[in-house]
A and B are shown apart, each in its own frame.
Chain A
Amino acid sequence: MELTETFLQLILTLDMTVRLSVVLILACLAGLFSERAGIVDIGLEGKMLIAAFFSAVAAYHSGNAWIGVLAGIAASMTFALIHGIASIAYRGNQLISGVALNFLASGLTVVIGNAWYKEGGRTPPLAGEARFSEITLPFADLIRDLPVIGPLYADVISGQKAIVYLAFLVVPLTWWVLFRTRFGLRLRAVGENPASVDTAGISVNRQRYAAVLIAGVLCGIAGAYLATSQAASFGREMTAGRGYIALAALIFAKWRPFYALMACLLFGLLEAISNLYPNIDVFGIFSIPVQFTQALPYILTVVILAGFIGKAIPPKASGEPYIKER
């Protein structure tokens, strides 16, 4: 009895981990594309927020969740384009551009949301087709009764929403694009040594715009997931720092796709734990406060950055505007 109870808790925690990791995975991969091409992106948060807002708006008015996703992508790509223009065409400070876009998103979403719906920035609740519903994978009900594997398959792997599966597919796809295609090779080269790419007759700027826009698409999907899958409307500041956690995960993963998946699952697990078990009692001796679990992703990232557990070396040219020789 005791054991089954623990097991049910475990299934619940894992299910929540998967749900919460999705946003992190998509945002982290967005950052991966951008930073691998040499454009630092601390605007993940803002892109997701603006995407969440417009996806909620579009899903509400169209009654179709997928139209919401498209609107989210469009909004996020607009922000990505501004970031691209600022940091590629005008050689501006990429960090400052990111900070500005994060600010802009948290302001605009509430200003527009309030003007349109007059509910303090909240959008009307989504119901029915306007929201993603859970997908039951084949045989889920059939093997639910099997020990261990059954509930794991039926409740953790099956019964998630479409974007969840999409996010997990984007991980190998990202790896394939970056490490097995010509486009990916060029993209990584632009982030390490743009001058050499330029010498080979390939446009550095075009590669970088492509990377930044891909980041826009991924952040758009992440934002849409927040508003149309995880929640059922847009709420102010609903990204709640996840863009920064994704950034932390990216460093934790040392800018690699599968490591990124692991880091995001770990940080998702930490978030699930802090949601489900606010204060953890350790053998009745002391209790771990919820704030510690919440801060753990950031603390771990600092430790990684400090080089105590391996060394996190960013792409060489990241953050540097490329100025073509004349």
Chain B
Amino acid sequence: MENLHSLTAHKLKELMARGETDPSAILEGVFARAEKVEPKVKAFVLSGKERARKAVAGTARKNGKLAGIPVLLKDNLCVKGEATTCGSKILAGFKPPYDATVVRKLEAEGAILIGKANMDEFAFGSSCETSCYGPTKNPWDTACIPGGSSGGSAAAVAADETIMALGSDTGGSIRQPAALCGVVGLKPTYGRVSRYGLIAFASSLDQIGPITKDVRDSALLLSVIAGYDEMDSTSVDLPVPDYSNALVEDLKGLRIGVPKEYFVKGIDGEVEASVRAGIGVLKSLGAEVKEISLPHTEYAVSTYYIVGPAEASSNLARFDGVQYGFRAAGADDMIEMYIKTRSEGFGNEAKRRILLGTYCLSTGYYDAYYLKAQKVRTKIREDFDKAFSVCDCIVTPTSPTPAFKIGERASDPLSMYLSDVYTIPANLAGLPAISIPCGFSGSGLPIGMQVLAKPFDEETIFRTAYAFEQGTEFHKRKPNL
């Protein structure tokens, strides 16, 4: 059968169940596709062909929820014995001695891991340009960025180089590239998915989540990776619902809030038009739409750029050339070794965030920056608490603009940071949020719409997103590569 690579996991499962295809054909289909388009997209940093073929031929479980389905991992997820580098020179050669919990869960359900996807170095970025391997390109326009930091994962799914992918989201790193690449990206509730084995950027914000071709696959992949893990104290011991039950086409009685603060200056006209049209679709499906206010929205980016870098500066202290990864040559003593290794091993954006975070935590600045940000974080969370007393979910744009040109914002970090303005609040408040395709710009670039819900209410997100998807055709369009 042709074009297996372009299908969703649930469709492939159907075909396999009917005996019309098999894991080997799917895998080879995906590899053939990658062979053809990867030179243009550059989504992979490590191809796991051999391992994947071996898995299909024997070792993989045959009867799991994802049996025979190729899955691509962001390069910050640890796989035992496989290079895991976070797109950074400082982790050159690092092969973790253990599997991330999500990796164990995927393999327990028969998923076929096909390699590692490119990302901004240590997930610092919104464009996938800061990777030490060079940028990934947007499949819809290879002169444009795919978004970031999970740009490789999103681009690979959009380009049909994999069936599904995992990304991680600290301030929008799943949703923003999903929006810019025209695929579905979900950041689950903080604590829904174990972070054990995810190389940390900001521990209190990071979540692993699915990047898929449609909402049903998103629900399927979440159901596999979600759940309490005693290795992650911040994962939550709540039962994992059967998310497929939430996939209904009816939105009657659903109260949708549209925050007025998300439609102010800075938003691209085409993005606003598409999202407003999308809200209209939701209304036509039976939802009740009302304007709400999230008054502290404009402070989210500031808060995030204190909390994130502060935690990152500490999380990244361990990269010092002692136990693993890169060690600079020619240092005569310990401190010199630290300094040379870190100065040569980290890229510019990583250094910038480490400096910013270190500064915000240092004596004399802690109260003014870090503590202040933690307090504003409370205010932002309270905004959402209030909003969710009058609505079941919140709909916003995912990104203020469609994909921009490679290099366009590279020299102005602040403008880059502002591309996460709509996605950051969900991380600060720990909320689940999805980005789904809701339109295209005049130049044919995808536009994403974001749906947020209360903590652990991924079901409402899936219900809303699924109904929208069934009522529209955006997710069916494919880039011309």
Verify that A and B bind, or say they do not: no
